Amino acid sequence: MHRRSLFGAGAGLIAAPALAQQHQHHSPLRPAEASPSPFANVFQGGQPHHLTDAQTAQRVIDSPAPPGPPGRWVPRAAMPIPRSEMAWATEWAGRMHVVGGYGEGRFDRAYHTVYVPAEDRWYDAAPLPRGANHVAVVALDGQVYALGGFIEQNRRCDDLAFAYDVEADRWRPIARLPRPRGAAAAVALDGRIHLIGGATDPAPERASIGWHEVYDPKTDQWELRRPLPAARDHVGCVAHAGLIHVVGGRFNTFQYNTAMHHVYLPARDTWIEKAPMPTARSGHGMVIYRGRFFCMGGEGGIIERGQTLEARVHGQLESYDPLTDTWQRHAPMPTPRHAVAAVTLGEWIHVAGGGAVLGGAVQSAVHEAFTLG
């Protein structure tokens, strides 16, 4: 372990010490240095990794969507540690929260880092009470919710759920999920949290699910809703104008990616289809920016009996207009990645970390931001 203050599993249940300068309306956090290495290999104990020519060749950026304004990407402060499989990130009060994931040679990290755009700097916040990857996260009313996740490499999910008080820098347990899962999508709508899709055990099968459950923070209870029509995980998901959009994802593995776009209508508890994403992928980021839905990154490929037959790490940036039900493309990511942390902060889309090659072997500390100017 290096460059960080690490805590035991229970440390996140108490307020963290004030080691950083007090920021208005925020509890003090601990400054974290940017990683000197852009990539690391989890199977080599988290050692720095140099991408090979074959790994770089996995990158794809061509999009079949019609052109839109290109925009531009700029580098931002690297994450403190190369990470991936966070699934994904959330924003509260103009800051990005990134929770859990692969890092430093393990799959069950309890990391919780916060990016402050005004300073272009990362901070360590109270870690999750237990480490996991592919944890669904969402922010609502000053709380960051962390739901489910995998304890092993993309498998062996649990039903644990936690809420983080941003002001107090403290986690607390909340009602467990009705059923364990990882790689699900979490989104806040009308004061409640919708948990959609994902994958579940038994670990050797790791099958996608279409489960749709809703958590009410006021009652600390879960309810069932109409399931996602096509069971899948690693999707993009946003709430907009009273509706929930679920885009892309995979059926069990990234060999079976989809471009499907479903929209949940809460008043009718039903789903309808909209225009599919131009590039089928999973593990992509999805954010709302200037009234459009932007999808970036992702992965796809074929691995049989441990042999990689096809590998794609996506750099496409495609956006959807909910008013016209149409897509367009923009300048691709300078560093294609999947399983990224992506949020909108002001006039910028920030994309941090993620997997640099197909699968979970290589993590990234790369942090890039996009704007239409």
pLDDT in tens, 81-105: 999 998 779 999 999 999 999 999 9
75-to-78, 220, 281 alpha-carbon distances in Å: 8, 40, 24
Burial of 2 from C-beta contacts in 10 A (0-12 / 13-18 / 19+): exposed
Instruction: With beta carbons less than 8 A apart as the criterion, state whether 322 and 241 touch.
Output: yes
Q: What is the pLDDT of residue 204?
A: 83
Question: What is the average pLDDT across 38-59?
Answer: 96
DSSP 3-state of 120: coil
Residue carrying structure tokens 């990362």: 122
pLDDT band (50, 70, 90) for residue 358: very high
pLDDT band at 12 (very low <50, low <70, confident <90, very high): very low
In the chain, the largest separation of any two C-alpha atoms, in whole Å, equals 53
Q: pLDDT tens for residues 287-315?
A: 999 999 999 999 999 988 888 899 999 99
- Rg value, the chain, Cα: 19
With CA atoms as reference, report the closest residue to 358 among 296, 292, 283: 283
In this prediction, residue 88 carries a pLDDT of 77
CA distance readout (Å), 357 to 108, 226, 248, 294, 308 = 20, 35, 19, 22, 11
CA distance 221 to 178: 9
Residue 1 has pLDDT above 50, yes or no: no
Tell me if residue 360 falls in helix, strand or coil. coil
Count the alpha carbons within 13 Å of 290 in the hemisphere toward its beta carbon.
11
Report the amino acid identity of residue 100.
G
Residues 152, 198 contacting (CB under 8 angstroms): no
* Residue for token pair 């879960």: 222
Phi, psi (rounded to 5 degrees) for 336? -60, 140
pLDDT of 15 above 80: no
Q: What is the pLDDT of residue 26?
A: 54
pLDDT tens digits, one per residue of 194-220: 999 999 999 888 899 999 999 999 999
| Residue 175 confidence (pLDDT) above 70 | yes
Q: Distance from CA of residue 292 to its chain's centroid? A: 19
At residue 9, what are phi and psi to the nearest 5 degrees? -60, -35
Q: What is the pLDDT of residues 58-71, one digit of tens each?
A: 999 999 999 999 99
- Cα(310)–Cα(143) distance, rounded to whole angstroms? 41
In contact, 353 and 79? CB cutoff 8 Å: yes
Residue with more model confidence, 5 or 108: 108
Pick the CATH number of 64-371 from 3.40.50.720, 3.40.50.150, 1.25.40.10, 2.120.10.80: 2.120.10.80
The pLDDT-based confidence of 154 (bands split at 50, 70, 90) is confident
Q: Using an 8 Å Cβ cutoff, are 314 and 299 in contact?
A: yes
Collapse the DSSP code of 91 into the 3-class scheme (helix H, G, I; strand E, B; otherwise coil) and give the result.
strand
Q: Are strands 90-92 and 95-99 parallel, antiparallel or unpaired?
A: antiparallel
pLDDT at residue number 2: 39
Supply 100's token pair: 């859990």
Instruction: Please tell me the pTM assigned to this model.
Output: 0.92
Query: Which of the pair, 266 or 19, is modelled with greater confidence?
Result: 266
Q: How far is CA 361 from the centre of its chain?
A: 17
Structure confidence at residue 316 (pLDDT)? 98
Residues 6+ apart with CB under 8 A from 209: 181, 197, 198, 199, 200, 227, 231, 233
The answer to whether 163 and 174 are in contact (CB under 8 A) is yes
Question: What is the per-residue pLDDT across 233-277, written as a single tens digit (0 to 9) for each?
Answer: 999 999 999 999 999 999 999 999 999 999 999 999 999 999 999
Mean pLDDT of the chain: 92
> What pLDDT shows up at residue 128?
97
User: What is the token pair recorded at 97?
Assistant: 């929260």
Report the alpha-carbon distance of residue 90 to residue 371 in Å, rounded: 18
